[in-house]
Amino acid sequence: MKHDPQPATASEWCAKGDACAARGELQAALQCFEAARALDPVDAVVHERLAATLSALNRFSEAVVRYHEAIAFDPLNADLRHGLGWSLEQMHRLEHAVDAYREAVRLNPKADGSYNNTGNCLQALGRFDEAHEAYRRAIDAAPQVPLYYRNFVQSKRLTADDPVFVALEQFAGVAASLTPANQAEIHFAYGQALSDVGRNDASFDHFLKGNALHRAGVHYDEAASLGLFAHLPELLSSEVLAAKRGLGDPSAAPIFIVGMPRSGSTLIEQILASHPQVFGAGERTEFGEALVNSIGRNVGDPLRINFEALQGLGAAQLRTLGADYLRRMYTSLPEMQTGAPGYTRFTDKYPFNFINVGLIHLALPNARFIHSSRSPLQSCLSIFSRIFHDVPFSYDLGELGRYYRAYDALMAHWQRVLPEGTMIEIKYEELVEDLEGNVRRLLAHCGLDWDERCLSFHQTRRQVNTASAAQVRRPLYKTSLQRWQPQQALLQPLFEGLGPALAPAGSFSAHERASLADAGTATTGTERKS
C-alpha cells in the first residue's frame, strides 16, 4: 500500500492541518500546526491556526498565548484581535476582551462581529450605553445580520421612531427571503420591539412564527428528557439519599440556584453576590462535566446516564465527584482561590442543575440549594419570547408546558426527600412583594450574616452573563410580575401541557379537568403554584 509522504515544509504541514480542521479532526490539526510552528516559528499564520484550533478545543488560556504571539508577528491583523477577544470572553475576562475587540474595529472599522461581541461583553459588565452604541455600530456595518438586531432589542427598549426599529420593521417585511434560521432571528427581534411599543398581538404573532422556525432546526428528544425526570425519583429515593448521606466532599462553599430559565434566578444570585462573603459565579456547567468524568455520562448526550454505575456510587466516588466539581470551579475562579479577600461561598446558578439536585446533595452534602420559581404561565411566556442556546424544549408551547410540568414534579420530589434546611424555594412574585423578608430568608438559609448591601443589589458591580443582565441593575419593579397574556385559544397547547394543576384558573372546564385527571395527566407537583 502506498502512503502519502509526510509534509516537508511548514506550509505543507499547515495545509494538512487545514484539511484536518475542515474534517473536524481538531487534535490531528493541532499536531500539524505544531509541526509547522517547529519548522517556521515566526509565521503569524501558523500561530493564528494554532490559536484558533486551541480555541475550538476550549483550551482558551493556551489560545490567548498563541494569539498574542501571532499579533506580535502581524500587529495590523484585525482578525487576530477578534480571535483574542473571543478567547478572553470565553474565559470571562470581559474587560480584556473589550480591549481586544475595540482594537479589532480600530484596525477594521467594518468588523461587525467585533462590534457585536463588544456589545455582549459591555452588556454583561453593566455598561449599557456603551453596549447599545456597539450594537448600533454592528448594525450599521452589517445591516443584513438579524442576530445584531435581536441582541440590541433584548438590551434596550426601542421607541417606534428609533432608526433601529424602523430598519427592523423593514427587515421583517422581507424576512421570507432569508434562511429559516435568520427568519427566526428577525421574528424574535421584531416581536420584542413590538412588545416594547405595546403592539402585543402583533408581537406574539411574530414570536409564534419565530419559535416555529427555530424549532424546526432544533433536536429535542422529549421522551428521553421527560423519561429521565420520571426515573430520577425512583433512582434517588429518600431511602437511597438517607443511606448515602454525608459520604461526599464536606465543603459548604457552593450555593446552587436551580429552576426554570426566566424565573428570577439571576436576581437571586445578584442579591447573594452583593454580600461580601459570596462570589457570584454565574451559570456553570462544571457539575455536569465532573459527573461525566465520574460515572460515564455521555458528553455528547448529557441525558444519557449510566444508571447501573449511578446506583453503585460509594463513599470514595461521591467524595471524588464533589472534589472534582470544586477543583473545576476553583480552577476557573481566581477570586475564590486561597488568599482571595473575604469570599467563603460561591453561587452556581446553572438552572438545569435542578435535574442533578439529588446527586449534588450526595456529592456535596453541605451545599445549599435555592429553588427559584415563578408563576408557570409567566415563566413560560417569558421563555417563549427568547432564543436560548441550551433550551431545546422551549419553541413549541405544548412541549414547553409538558417540560414545565415534569420539572415541577421533580422539584416536588427533591423537596420531599432532601434533609430539612437543604433547599428553600424563593418565589419571584413574593420576592418582589417583600424584598427584605425574602433576603433575610436567603441569607439565613446560606448561613450568612445580615448585610444591608443585599437590599441594594442593583448597585453591585459584577459580570452578569444572562438575559437578565439589565433587569438586575435596576431596583425591583412590580410591573415585571405580569406579562401581557395572549388570547386563551393561542395558549391552549401550553395549558394542556401544563395540566389542570398548573394552568391558570379558567383554562379548563370542570369536565376537562376531570377527564385529564382520570387520564393521569395531572401534575404530581404541589398546589403551591398559582
Residue pLDDT, tens place only, 424-475: 999 999 999 999 999 999 999 999 999 989 988 877 765 555 554 455 455 6
From 3.30.390.30, 3.40.50.300, 3.20.20.70, 3.40.50.720, which CATH number describes the 224-374+407-476 domain?
3.40.50.300
Output the 3-class SS for 351-377: HHHHHHHHHHHHHCCCCEEEEEECCHH
What are φ and ψ of residue 507, in 5° steps? -75, -25
Report the distance separating Cα 220 and Cα 214, nearest Å: 12
Query: Residue 406's closest CA among 230, 224, 221, 222?
Result: 230
Report the distance separating Cα 370 and Cα 385, nearest Å: 25
**Confidence class of residue 340 from pLDDT cuts 50, 70 and 90?**
low
Give the number of C-alpha atoms closer than 13 A to the C-alpha of residue 219, restricted to the C-beta side: 3
* Total-model pTM: 0.86
Contacts of 527 (CB under 8 A, 6+ apart): 501
pLDDT tens for residues 261-271? Answer: 999 998 999 99
pLDDT tens for residues 172-205? Answer: 999 999 999 999 999 999 999 999 999 999 999 9
Contact by Cβ (8 Å): 502, 524: no
Question: Does the CA dihedral 214-217-222-225 come out positive or negative?
Answer: negative
Output the 3-class SS for 157-224: CCCCCCHHHHHHHHHHHCHHHCCHHHHHHHHHHHHHHHHHCCCHHHHHHHHHHHHHHHHCCCCCCHHH
Domain ranges of the chain: 149-217, 224-374+407-476
Q: How far is CA 10 from CA 59, 64, 75, 250, in A?
A: 23, 22, 21, 52
Contact by Cβ (8 Å): 501, 522: yes
Q: What is the mean pLDDT of residues 488-503?
A: 94
Question: For residue 493, what is its C-alpha cell?
Answer: 397547547
**Confidence class of residue 2 from pLDDT cuts 50, 70 and 90?**
very low
Q: How far is CA 183 from CA 168, 208, 212, 389, in A?
A: 12, 12, 10, 17
Q: What is the mean pLDDT of residues 83-94?
A: 93
On the question of pLDDT at 526 being above 50, the answer is no
Give the number of C-alpha atoms closer than 13 A to the C-alpha of residue 150, restricted to the C-beta side: 23
Question: For residue 464, what is its C-alpha cell?
Answer: 452578569
**Confidence class of residue 329 from pLDDT cuts 50, 70 and 90?**
very high
Output the 3-class SS for 75-129: CCCHHHHHHHHHHHHHCCCHHHHHHHHHHHHHHCCCCHHHHHHHHHHHHHCCCHH
H or E element at residue 257: strand 254-259
Under the phi-then-psi rule, with left for phi > 0, alpha for psi from -120 to 50, and beta for the rest, what region is 333?
Answer: beta
pLDDT tens for residues 281-325? Answer: 989 999 998 988 877 655 555 445 565 566 677 889 999 999 999
Q: Residue 510 has what pLDDT?
A: 53
Q: Residue 338 has what pLDDT?
A: 57
Name the amino acid, one letter, at 490.
L
- Higher per-residue confidence, 511 vs 156: 156
Question: For residue 448, what is its C-alpha cell?
Answer: 450568612
